[in-house]
Amino acid sequence: MNAKEYQKSVMLAQKASAAYYDDDAPIMEDPEFDTLMQKLKAYEAEHPDQIAPDSPTQKVGGSIGKSSFAKVEHTVPMLSLQDVFNEKEITEFIEKTNAQDYCVEEKIDGLSVSVTYEDGKLVRAETRGDGFIGEDITENAKFIKGIPVRLNDKYLRNNISQLEVRCEVYLPVRRFEEINEKLENEGKKPFVNPRNAAAGLLRTKDLNVVKKAGLCAFAFNIQRYVGEPFYDVNSHYAGLQALETIGFRTVKSYLVSDSDTALKTIQMIGNYKADLPYWIDGAVVKVDDLRVQKTLGDTSKYPRWAIAYKYPPEEKETVVKDIILQTGRTGRVTPVAMLEPVFLAGTKVERATLHNPEIIQKLNVDVGDIVLVRKAAEIIPEIIRVVKKSSDGIYNVFDHACPSCGGDLCQGADESGNNASGSYCPNPNCPAQIQRRFEFWASRDCMDIRGLGPKQIEKFIALGWLKEIPDIYRLYRHWNEMEQLDGFGKKTAENLIAAIEASINRDIDRLIKALGMPGIGRHIGKVLAKRCATVADIGAMSISELAELDGIGPVAATVIYNSFHHKSPGNAEPDMLILLKQLQALGVNLKSKSFQDEEKPQPLAGKTFVITGTLPSLKREEAASLIEENGGTVSGSVSKKTGYLLAGEKAGSKLAKAQSLGVKVITEEELKRMLK
């Protein structure tokens, strides 16, 4: 890897990290990301003078820049763990730390939170965020099994006035599968893996959703306490046992004294992990003696007294019984291998996506071949390689027709510039594409039309009521007929028409996502809604103007531009403009409502702030609201893109980082002057 490749790898890792931690929508499998991070670390070890300050190796993963929850600064930083991938590194860690005892614990695949109690009562719960600032999810945490709302006073000696405990929130295996099955049946996108499922469910504002989610938690560390100790304060293991007596469910932990026993314990956990009712993705080794932990200290990202061993994905051989094709919303056709059932990571695997024709060629795979299969990130089945060919053939996607409309498939980019690789169905009237476009439009994160699910859409298409998206807003014409349909009735029809009417007034961040531009979600929709007064205004922007907006890179900018300028044969105007005019005529809102206020100036528009320290008169959340109300953006960590660091007393490490990067540091008074 040279310097140019290193910079590209840093950017890729940043993008993958943001997708995983901030958007709960990973773009890279865990093993692939782990490999990328190892390459970055190797290069940085050889070239310490070239380390990028914003490299993901230099900070805790994640931020809270997009969060709608109140921001809170951690009393004790919530650092991540250094990952290792072979037994030699475990041995080296134990030799280097040279402690008397170690705890080997299951590494739960979930979301880290910190919970604080005052006089035995839960008063605050915080997500990790960037390790220094997280989200306040106190109300949600009250519905998580394993996090007591009130501690068991019977076992607390001398009434601890404050206790902070770190936990891992997770979704049990069975519950994860139930939720994903329900989402798939409703035509919605399932969660990619249990960690992102836990994050998505925990960070919802709807307490009823949290209550029904079935989230659980294991406590794995005492962060701090104020008062007389209620356990052997020199032992981490004793602390876990004490937590159980006061109401916590604690992570399973084994006390060992040397590297051989630690490695055997790690192997033992690996042997039984597939049988657990929850997912683990590794084993953690910690120094047990808290005095030694304190002596060893922390780096800016990791504690030096703990390390995480990541298990390699389980692999098994099976037979490819068939390869089928699936047509998606944009016309992209995805080949899927149907497998002889095999058990991996405790669940039955019968299919694995082959992604596109290029992957099939690379694997050299065909029906009847014996293949090696694994679950990437312990969840997503994938074919690693062909073990034994059944013939000399390779499955050719283009020998087959679209499974939905029967038309010929094409290769490369379509006319709008989408689907740049792979295969796609060019027929805009393909039933599968039409069905999925309607499902996507009505989905919860788009226009959120309750009651317009896959079954209803399929029925309305068959009746000829739905042919194009604007037809959704003409369904009221069929109200009387709808009441007579099986499974409907007067009340159901009324509720659906009311839900469609409600969707007319959604803000345009939802509409922008619903338009279905590849890779353009609500996070980009919000950026555009702040910049543009109407959806139509987006089409007037050039690629370079779009790419300059915070959060929109050159790829997204090109997709947006092409989507707004593509013309189908025979159309005098771009397809997008025609659609928007139809929607506007039907009363659908095309104006940015909550993101812009034409009467109010936006003096901080385009400016990014980070807040640190104690401000003279404003609380952090008050300062953040003030900035956002005036058009600015608040981020949780300092980077080269940070415009200003708003610093109060005890500013800490963020002040030093801002100064090293040349970020302008301002006071509360200077912020207020910027608003005048």
pLDDT average, residue stretch 449-453: 91
On the question of pLDDT at 263 being above 90, the answer is: yes
Q: Provide the 3-class DSSP secondary structure of residue 530.
A: helix
Q: Determine how many CB atoms are found less than 10 A away from the CB of residue 585.
A: 10
Q: Provide the 3-class DSSP secondary structure of residue 288.
A: coil
**59: its two tokens:** 């900070």
pLDDT average, residue stretch 406-416: 70
Over the stretch 635-673, which tens digit does the pLDDT of each residue have?
777 888 889 999 988 777 788 888 888 899 999 999 988
Nearest one of 474, 458, 335 to 398, comparing CA atoms: 335
Pairing mode, strands 121-127 and 111-118: antiparallel
The Cα 402–Cα 409 span in angstroms is 6
The answer to whether the Cα torsion of 363, 368, 370, 371 is positive or negative is: positive
Model confidence at 419, pLDDT cuts 50, 70, 90, reads very low
With a CB cutoff of 8 Å and minimum separation 6, the contacts of 656 are none
pLDDT for position 25: 52
Name the percent of the chain lying above pLDDT 90.
42
The Cα 145–Cα 210 span in angstroms is 11
Over the stretch 279-317, which tens digit does the pLDDT of each residue have?
898 999 999 999 999 999 988 778 999 999 998 877 889
Tell me, yes or no, if 107 is annotated catalytic. Answer: yes
Please answer whether residues 335 and 348 qualify as being in contact, where contact means their C-beta atoms are separated by less than 8 angstroms.
no
On the question of pLDDT at 395 being above 70, the answer is: yes
The Cα 466–Cα 448 span in angstroms is 17
The single-letter code of the amino acid at 81 is L
pLDDT for position 417: 45
The DSSP letter of residue 302 is: S
Q: Provide the 3-class DSSP secondary structure of residue 645.
A: strand
Q: Which helix (H) or strand (E) holds 199?
A: helix 194-202
pLDDT for position 188: 63
The Cα 38–Cα 259 span in angstroms is 23
**639: its two tokens:** 């980077």
Global pTM reads: 0.50
Please answer whether residues 54 and 640 qualify as being in contact, where contact means their C-beta atoms are separated by less than 8 angstroms.
yes
Longest distance between any two alpha carbons in the chain, whole Å: 81
Mean pLDDT of the chain: 85
Q: Which helix (H) or strand (E) holds 644?
A: strand 644-647
Name the percent of the chain lying above pLDDT 70.
87
Q: What angle do CA 418, 420, 421 make, to 5 degrees?
A: 135
Over the stretch 193-237, which tens digit does the pLDDT of each residue have?
778 888 888 888 788 888 888 999 999 999 998 887 777 889 999
Pairing mode, strands 608-612 and 644-647: parallel
With a CB cutoff of 8 Å and minimum separation 6, the contacts of 480 are none
The Cα 100–Cα 94 span in angstroms is 10
The Cα 145–Cα 70 span in angstroms is 23
Judged on CB neighbours under 10 Å (0-12, 13-18, 19+), 343 is: exposed
**What are the Cα distances from residue 361, in Å, to 234, 257, 350, 420?**
58, 50, 21, 17
The single-letter code of the amino acid at 409 is L
On the question of pLDDT at 61 being above 60, the answer is: no
The Cα 404–Cα 326 span in angstroms is 8
| Partner residues linked to 103 by β-bridges | 255, 286
- Pure H helices in 236-342: 236-245, 259-272, 290-296
> Which one has a higher pLDDT value, 560 or 429?
560
- Burial annotation 304-337 (CB, 10 A radius, 16+ → b, else e): bbbbbbbbebbeeebbbeebebebbbbbbbbbeb
Nearest one of 401, 397, 410 to 358, comparing CA atoms: 397
pLDDT for position 414: 43
The DSSP letter of residue 515 is: T
Please answer whether residues 78 and 166 qualify as being in contact, where contact means their C-beta atoms are separated by less than 8 angstroms.
yes
- Pure H helices in 517-633: 522-531, 535-538, 543-547, 554-565, 575-585, 620-629
What torsion do the CA atoms of 458, 459, 464, 466 make, to the nearest 10 degrees? -50
The Cα 1–Cα 396 span in angstroms is 35
pLDDT average, residue stretch 589-609: 77
Q: Which of 129-138, 252-261, 458-467 has the lowest mean pLDDT?
A: 129-138
Please answer whether residues 294 and 277 qualify as being in contact, where contact means their C-beta atoms are separated by less than 8 angstroms.
no
The Cα 278–Cα 280 span in angstroms is 7
Name the residue with tokens 């050719």: 396
What torsion do the CA atoms of 357, 359, 365, 371 make, to the nearest 10 degrees? -150
pLDDT for position 412: 66
List the catalytic residue out of 107, 526, 591, 654: 107
| Partner residues linked to 664 by β-bridges | 644
On the question of pLDDT at 415 being above 60, the answer is: no
Q: Which of 150-164, 256-270, 337-351, 616-630 has the lowest mean pLDDT?
A: 150-164
